[in-house]
């Protein structure tokens, strides 16, 4: 257990469904991230939150909607996804963005399959 | 922006032999180079990192070397063991002297297989 917990671990959804991925960190970190991991591709940074404010949005389609209600929780709301969105979605946290101590702690990921 | 190339994509070695994974980066300003290990069913975990003010760093059986001139860095694992089997990712970032860093750019990963 790394201190970053993701649920659900596996999710299968149709293209018209609405679902959410949840991430919780118990490390007292101030920065949280969503990454997309697809086969044979580098990890793709999707969103960055620092102290609950979104600081980066890497041209992610609007069918992905992040939410950070507090520094311990991060959600990724999904709606009208496409089959190519099937991937492992990784949540990560770090102490903060400004200390230079950017060691990322990852969760185990949520494996998403879009039918 | 930064681009990180990682080779090989798959590496199979006999238990006890050494394994070397290589990465190149494009942005000469990058100065922080971590390596992450991802075991099956788990998220990536940091195993070692190096900053550009040093050329080599070791931690037991793992070492990382950095050649700033050539813009490449490598992960070396000696006396490999079955538990070393995993996917390894290199990454690069610019870390500012006053604190703060741009986001990590990851390589595509290397699937390391340790043959018994």
**Chain segment B16-49, per-residue pLDDT in tens:** 999 999 999 999 988 889 999 999 989 999 999 9
What's the pLDDT tens digit per position in A14-51? 888 899 999 999 999 989 999 999 988 889 989 989 88
* A104 to B99: CB separation less than 8 angstroms, yes or no: no
Listed range (A75-84, A97-106, B24-33, B70-79) with the worst mean pLDDT: A97-106
Comparing CB atoms, the residue among B45, B49, B103 nearest residue A106 is B45
pLDDT tens digits, A56-81: 777 899 999 999 999 999 999 999 99
**pLDDT value of position B99:** 46
Do A105 and A95 touch, CB atoms closer than 8 A? no
Contact residues on chain A for B46, CB-CB shorter than 8 A: 103-105
Contact (CB, 8 A) for B55 and B39: no
Nearest C-alpha of chain A: how many angstroms from B66? 19
Spatial CA neighbour of B112 closest among B5, B3, B22: B22
Q: Do B104 and A2 touch (CB under 8 A)?
A: no
Contact B9 A90 (CB under 8 A): no
Contact A98 B99 (CB under 8 A): yes
Which residue has better confidence, B55 or A55? Answer: B55
Q: What is the mean pLDDT of residues A78-85?
A: 94
Which distant-in-sequence residues (6+ apart) come within 8 Å of B29 by Cβ? B94
pLDDT category of residue A99 using cuts at 50, 70 and 90:
low
């Amino acid at each position: 257990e790394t201190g970053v917990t993701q649920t659900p671990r596996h999710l299968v959804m149709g293209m018209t469904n609405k679902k959410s991925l949840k991430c919780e960190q118990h490390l007292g970190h101030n920065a949280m991230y969503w990454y997309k991991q697809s086969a044979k591709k580098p990890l793709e940074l999707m969103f960055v939150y620092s102290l609950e404010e979104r600081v980066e949005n890497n041209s992610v389609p609007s069918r992905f909607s992040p939410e950070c209600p507090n520094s311990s929780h991060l959600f990724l709301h999904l709606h009208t996804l496409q089959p190519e969105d099937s991937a492992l979605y990784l949540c990560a946290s770090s102490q903060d963005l400004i200390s230079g101590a950017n060691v990322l702690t990852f969760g185990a990921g949520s494996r998403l399959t879009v039918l | 922006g930064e681009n990180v190339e990682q080779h090989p994509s798959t590496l199979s070695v006999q238990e006890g032999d050494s394994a070397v994974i290589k990465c190149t980066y494009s942005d000469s300003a990058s100065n922080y180079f971590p390596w992450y290990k991802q075991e099956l069913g788990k998220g990536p975990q940091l195993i070692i990192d190096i900053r550009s003010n040093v050329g080599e760093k070791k931690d037991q059986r793992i070492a990382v070397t950095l050649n700033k001139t050539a813009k490449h860095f490598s992960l070396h694992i000696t006396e490999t063991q079955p538990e070393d089997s995993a996917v390894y990712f290199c990454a690069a970032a610019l870390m500012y002297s006053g604190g703060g860093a741009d986001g990590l750019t990851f390589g595509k990963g290397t699937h390391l297989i340790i043959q018994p």
